[in-house]
Amino acid sequence: MEYGVVAAGLDADEKSGCIILQVGSQCRTVLVTRRAILNVASPPRATKARFLEHVETFCEIALNRMRMPITNQDIVVITANDVRGWRRHWPSLPAPLFSEPTGARKSGHRIGKQQRYLQPIPAGTSEETGHNGE
C-alpha cells in the first residue's frame, strides 16, 4: 500500500505525535501516544527528534492497523502495545562474537577488544577453497 506523509509534528506539552498520512486519495490522521514514542527505541525519549526519526516506523504500524477491519479508520491511534508488537516482528541485529577464551571471560581479562559479527556467505560460492558450489 503506497502512502505519503503530508505533515508530522510533536505536541510539546503532551509529548505525543500526529502524522497526516495520505493513503491513495484519502488523508488519514495517525496519533502517536507518548508511550509509543518512548517504546520505539532505546533509551526511551519522547522528543521531537526521536519522533521524526521514527515517522516511517509509525506509518508502517498505522498501515498494518488500517488493514484490520475496524469501525473508524479516519483516525488511527498508535500505542506502546502496537510498537512492542512491531518490535517483536522486526529482525534484530546479529549477536556480537568475542574472540576470547572461556578462561579469559571468567577472569575479567579481554583478549579481543573489537566485536565481530557473523556474516552469511552465499551457498553457491566459496572463495577460500576455490570451489563454486558444484
| pLDDT per residue rounded down to tens, the chain (134 residues) | 688 888 999 998 888 999 999 888 888 899 999 999 999 988 888 899 999 999 999 999 998 888 877 656 778 999 999 999 888 876 544 444 444 445 444 445 444 444 444 455 555 544 444 444 44
Domain assignments of the chain as residue spans, ordered by start: 3-89
Architecture field, domain 3-89? 2-Layer Sandwich (3.30)
Helix (H, G, I), strand (E, B) or coil at 88: helix
Q: How far apart are CA 72 and CA 29, in angstroms?
A: 11
Q: How far apart are CA 56 and CA 62, in angstroms?
A: 10
The predicted structure's pLDDT at residue 123: 59
